[in-house]
Amino acid sequence: MAGTLYVVATPLGNLGDLSPRAADTLKRVSVVAAEDTRHSKPLLQHAESKAELVSFHEHSSERALERILRILQEGRDVALITDAGTPAISDPGVALVAAARERGIQVVTIPGPTAVAASLAVSGIPGDRYVFLGFLPRKGSDRRRLLLTAASSEWTVVMFEAPNRVTHLLADLIEACGPDRQASVSREMTKVFEETRAGTLQELSEHYAAAPVRGEVTVVLSGTGKRRVEERPPDPTDRARALLDEGLSRKDVAERLAEETGISRNTAYRLVNEL
Chain-wide mean pLDDT for the chain? 93
**Is the model's pLDDT at 199 over the cut of 90?**
yes
Of the candidates 49, 105, 106, 103, the residue with the CA atom closest to the CA atom of residue 81: 49
pTM: 0.80
Q: Which residue has the higher pLDDT, 212 or 128?
A: 128
Architecture of domain 120-221: 2-Layer Sandwich (3.30)
pLDDT bin (cut points 50, 70, 90) of residue 217 is very high
The average pLDDT across 120-124 equals 97
Domains of the chain: which residue ranges? Answer: 4-113, 120-221, 236-274
What was the pLDDT predicted at 9?
97
CA distance 30 to 51: 5
Tens digits of residue pLDDT in 135-180: 999 988 889 999 999 999 999 999 999 999 999 999 999 999 999 9
Residue-wise pLDDT tens digits, 45-55: 999 999 999 99
CATH topology of domain 4-113: Cobalt-precorrin-4 Transmethylase; domain 1 (3.40.1010)
pLDDT greater than 80 at residue 233:
no
